[in-house]
Amino acid sequence: MSQRSPDQEPSVLDYVKSRFAFWKPGPRLELPPLEGEHFPSEAVESETPVQALHSVPLREVETARPREPIHLPNLALASLALALLAQFTLEPRLDRSWLIGAALYLLSAGALLAAWRQNEWCLPDQFEQSPLFLDIPLRTLPVLVAIASGALAFALFGGGKFNLLNVTAWLLAIASLAAAFWKIPQGSLGLLQERWASLIRQEWSIKVPRAVLALGLTTAVIIYMRTANLGVTPSEMISDHAEKLVDINGILNGQTPVYFARNIGSEFIQNYLTAWFINLFNTGLTFISLKAVTVLCGLLTLPFVYLLARDLSSRRAGLIAAAFAGIAYWPNALSRTGLNFTLYPFFLAPALYFFLLGLKFNTPEHEKAETANLNNFILAGLCLGLGMNGYSAFQIVPVLFLFGAAFYFVHQRSKLALTTTLTGFLIMLCMALLVCLPLLRYAMDNPQAFIILAQYRVGVPFPAFAGNGFLIFFQNLVRALGLFAWDNGDMWLFSISHRPALDIISAALFNLGALLLALRYVRQRCWQDLFWLAAIPILILPSVLSLANPAENPGLDRAAGALIPAFLLVGLALDSLMTAVEKRMQSGGKQTAAFLCTALFLIASLQNYALVFKQYDAIYTQSAWNTTEIGSVVRSFANLTGSPETAWLVAYPFWVDSRLVMINAGYPERDNAMLPEKIDSTAADPRAKLFILNPQDQNDLSVLHSLYPLGWLQTYTSSQQNKDFWLYFVPADLNQPGQSAPKP
């Protein structure tokens, strides 16, 4: 191969070899400078570019363009690390102490304050918009129709049942009130036509950016966490489920009550939704029917979590809030119980979104500002009324909205703000009253049903608790505020006893987010920041007000509304931390921030997976009675040799619910409970009989031995520890009392 002479101009191949032959010593060739550029050497003005390159020492060439130093938000990252360490010490263990965690959280708060002062970690500013007040549309005829049909519906609901006439009047009142104030934006029809034309055109161009791909993967993780092993996690029903299924069975058989008085009372929405689901998918009166509806409600809550966080901060904050809420053990466990606890956040999230959107007043150049505000108040009232028909704990939400309106007025301090706020608030309340009109009529006709519930929870009007009520209230409040990061109570039905309601990552971000929001309020005095800080203690009040039964506080069921602001704070904290990383690191900041968010999300997902599918599932299975196994025995007996009419569960204190046994056996309309004093009445039936007994029930076993000496006893060994039961089988035609037989 020919060698290049020292005076020959280097070729492109020589440059490539010089750059990639990193193992050879010596300087690397550089491209000739563009016109106007100069090499760093001071003595190369008269030399050619290549001669100048060879005259510059290697060290000067390598340091001619130094790399930018990597700047990290050290104080912010230190605050996060200390918060994570603090929360790790608060995880359940034998030697757990809140003192260590509190000390570490104080250090974390100090680092956050220092980062805030240096503008290293702070929330984006909130900008108040100039209020614009237009003439409120008022259509007299729809208002009169709403009043007349509402009064008629109120009178027709006196029977406490839904029927075609009162439902028609009720829906007409709701629709008329909405029509009286609803405004259709100008050009909306043309916009719909344009969207439809773009939808049906033949050629589509679809681009899938990386953000959409990440969103799809996150959605897949959330759906998996909420629906995986739904049939077996949790596995067994309890008496509350039996009450629900009995009520739903009544609906399927033509009953239409406004309020279900069984088991201290229950609102109607979940029961009718489940009955509709059973009719649509033919899932039957089963545990999976209950769980499918509540899990779906839980998933549909997440889009409004995103919208709330987006309006408070940014789209990325909304996505983070919805993602962490989607994988969290708290809402996951609530929705998997199949009870109406999930309806609290399900209706609260859209109600909050439309209410807060209604209080936002755009600048005058936005022509549709007033249209959006009035419509949003109507939608907020609709969600508020539906929530009142869903779960009793939702009754605290009007109080929260009252505080929100007060915060808005105090910070605006103008007659215009007062007029607009009161107008929208009254429209919202009127809509909510119409939506929950059937429940209001039932409460007026049957006040005793609600007094019993108040006595059970609060102990009023006749105090049913011992001690100072105010002291119990404040003790409950302190305990309930600690549910996020310390102790979520002792309710095995929907929680893991005495652990934080949030995972390590979410709890740390929640506490940091609360401090960030408080700091922004001090600096900027935005009423929304104060509203969200106040929302947490207000929304846990249904749990705090368990004065007659303090052991039920904190309860993740009655405090479920607080998970909405909790995960908003998670989204705000992590989004603002990512922004701090991006600003400090001019090169590679976005990639580093995305890696940090992904890592935290994956760690939280793994912990929540273990919490739901291992710890919660195991505790639930140990605590619930094995009615599925007993039901399978009854079903086998009925199919092979006997009848469901001659299979009885002998009653025993604090044992299984006989209704659940028959529901699991496939006979939801039967109850095979047998009181001990009525065992003798079974002797007249010549068919084969099966008696199921608790292993400790020696008295009833002796009665059966004396009544049916030809019967035999078998112990059914359960797959669950300490859940065995006895089977006493009496053959057909050989079970007449008094016949002699060998002793068993």
Please spell the DSSP secondary structure of 18-62, one letter per residue. Answer: HHH-TTS-SPPP-PPPPTT---S-SS-TTS-HHHHHHHS-HHHHH
pLDDT for the residue numbered 744: 37
139 within a domain of the structure (yes/no): no
Does 234 have pLDDT greater than 90? yes
* Structure tokens that stand for 325 in this block: 């809420």
Q: What is the DSSP string of 210-279?
A: HHHHHHHHHHHHHHHHHHTTTTTSS----HHHHHHHHHHHHHHTT--BSSB-STT-B-SHHHHHHHHHHH
Task: Specify whether 662 is located in the same domain as 617.
Answer: no
**If pLDDT is split at 50, 70 and 90, which confidence band does 371 have?**
very low
Burial class of residue 113, CB neighbours in 10 A (0-12, 13-18, 19+): middle
Give dist(CA 577, CA 597) in Å, integer: 9
Among residues 42, 62, 82, which one ends one of the domains? 62
Task: Specify whether 473 is located in the same domain as 603.
Answer: yes
What is the C-alpha radius of gyration for the chain, rounded to an integer number of angstroms?
A: 34
Look at 664 and 190; give whichever has higher pLDDT: 664
pLDDT for the residue numbered 20: 54
Give the contacts of 130 (CB within 8 A, at least 6 positions apart). Answer: 361, 362, 363, 364
Q: Which residues of 184-222 are buried (b: 16+ CB within 10 A; e: fewer)?
A: eeeeeeeeeeeeeeeeeeeeeeeeeeeeeeeeeebeebb
Mean pLDDT of the chain: 86
647 strand-pairing partners: 690
Task: Specify whether 589 is located in the same domain as 648.
Answer: no
Which of these ranges, 231-240, 382-391, 457-466, 595-604, has the smallest mean pLDDT?
A: 457-466
**If pLDDT is split at 50, 70 and 90, which confidence band does 410 have?**
confident
Give dist(CA 726, CA 575) in Å, integer: 58
Dump pLDDT digits (tens) for 463-472. Answer: 555 567 889 9
Task: Specify whether 429 is located in the same domain as 370.
Answer: yes
Contact indicator for 481, 540 with CB cutoff of 8 Å: yes
Does 18 have pLDDT greater than 50? yes
Strands 647-650 and 689-693: parallel
Give dist(CA 261, CA 741) in Å, integer: 50
Which of these ranges, 163-167, 549-553, 630-634, has the smallest mean pLDDT?
A: 549-553
Does 201 have pLDDT greater than 80? no
The number of angstroms, rounded, from the C-alpha of 629 to the middle of its chain's C-alpha atoms is 31
Does 416 have pLDDT greater than 90? no
**If pLDDT is split at 50, 70 and 90, which confidence band does 738 have?**
very low
State the average pLDDT over residues 58-77: 65
pLDDT for the residue numbered 133: 53
326 within a domain of the structure (yes/no): yes
Does 16 have pLDDT greater than 70? no
93 within a domain of the structure (yes/no): no
Does 299 have pLDDT greater than 50? yes
Task: Specify whether 548 is located in the same domain as 603.
Answer: yes
pLDDT for the residue numbered 42: 43
Contact indicator for 553, 544 with CB cutoff of 8 Å: yes
* Structure tokens that stand for 527 in this block: 């009423």
Q: How many CB atoms lie within 10 A of CB 99?
A: 8
State the average pLDDT over residues 143-162: 96
77 within a domain of the structure (yes/no): no
State the average pLDDT over residues 240-258: 96
pTM across the whole model? 0.86
pLDDT for the residue numbered 286: 96
Closest to 100 measured CA to CA, from 112, 88, 109, 110: 88
pLDDT for the residue numbered 690: 96
Look at 45 and 139; give whichever has higher pLDDT: 139
Give the contacts of 3 (CB within 8 A, at least 6 positions apart). Answer: none
Contact indicator for 635, 665 with CB cutoff of 8 Å: yes
**If pLDDT is split at 50, 70 and 90, which confidence band does 391 have?**
very high
Which of these ranges, 6-15, 392-401, 482-491, 587-596, has the smallest mean pLDDT?
A: 6-15
> Could you tell me where the beta strands, DSSP code E, fall in 563-653?
647-650
Q: Which residues of 308-317 are buried (b: 16+ CB within 10 A; e: fewer)?
A: bbbbbbbebb
Contact indicator for 592, 203 with CB cutoff of 8 Å: no
Look at 55 and 415; give whichever has higher pLDDT: 415
Task: Specify whether 550 is located in the same domain as 663.
Answer: no
111 within a domain of the structure (yes/no): no
- Phi and psi at 712, nearest 5°, equal -135, 155
Q: Which residues of 632-651 are buried (b: 16+ CB within 10 A; e: fewer)?
A: ebbbebbeeebebebbbbbb
Does 581 have pLDDT greater than 60? yes
* Structure tokens that stand for 500 in this block: 């934080």
What single-letter DSSP state applies at residue 587?
Answer: T
Q: Which residue has the tokens 């059914």?
A: 716
Q: Around 668, how many Cα atoms within 13 Å sit in the side-chain half-sphere?
A: 16
Among residues 621, 640, 660, which one ends one of the domains? 621
Dump pLDDT digits (tens) for 688-701. Answer: 999 999 999 999 99
Dump pLDDT digits (tens) for 548-578. Answer: 889 899 999 999 999 999 999 999 999 999 9
Does 111 have pLDDT greater than 60? yes
Closest to 716 measured CA to CA, from 701, 727, 705, 730: 727
Burial class of residue 173, CB neighbours in 10 A (0-12, 13-18, 19+): buried
Does 612 have pLDDT greater than 80? yes
Give dist(CA 272, CA 250) in Å, integer: 10
Contact indicator for 330, 286 with CB cutoff of 8 Å: no
pLDDT for the residue numbered 214: 81
Contact indicator for 183, 375 with CB cutoff of 8 Å: yes
**If pLDDT is split at 50, 70 and 90, which confidence band does 364 have?**
very low
Q: What is the DSSP string of 14-29?
A: HHHHHHH-TTS-SPPP
Which of these ranges, 198-207, 246-255, 475-484, has the smallest mean pLDDT?
A: 198-207
pLDDT for the residue numbered 628: 96
pLDDT for the residue numbered 359: 83
Among residues 621, 643, 659, which one ends one of the domains? 621
Does 227 have pLDDT greater than 70? yes
Give the contacts of 315 (CB within 8 A, at least 6 positions apart). Answer: none
What strand order describes the sheet that includes 689-693? 673-674, 647-650, 689-693, 725-730, 712-716
Does 540 have pLDDT greater than 50? yes
216 within a domain of the structure (yes/no): yes
Task: Specify whether 660 is located in the same domain as 614.
Answer: no
Task: Specify whether 382 is located in the same domain as 525.
Answer: yes
**If pLDDT is split at 50, 70 and 90, which confidence band does 99 have?**
very high
Give dist(CA 512, CA 318) in Å, integer: 17
State the average pLDDT over residues 271-297: 97
Which of these ranges, 153-157, 203-207, 456-460, 530-534, has the smallest mean pLDDT?
A: 203-207
Which of these ranges, 25-29, 142-146, 181-185, 445-449, has the smallest mean pLDDT?
A: 25-29
Q: Specify the length of the chain in residues.
A: 744
Look at 158 and 203; give whichever has higher pLDDT: 158
Task: Specify whether 613 is located in the same domain as 689.
Answer: no
Q: How many CB atoms lie within 10 A of CB 333?
A: 27
176 within a domain of the structure (yes/no): no
Task: Specify whether 371 is located in the same domain as 475.
Answer: yes
Burial class of residue 22, CB neighbours in 10 A (0-12, 13-18, 19+): exposed
State the average pLDDT over residues 578-586: 90
Number of structural domains the chain divides into: 3
Contact indicator for 672, 630 with CB cutoff of 8 Å: no
Task: Specify whether 598 is located in the same domain as 684.
Answer: no
Domain extent, residue 50, equals 12-62
Q: Which residue has the tokens 């009525």?
A: 678
Give dist(CA 542, CA 555) in Å, integer: 9
Look at 413 and 36; give whichever has higher pLDDT: 413
233 within a domain of the structure (yes/no): yes
Task: Specify whether 501 is located in the same domain as 364.
Answer: yes
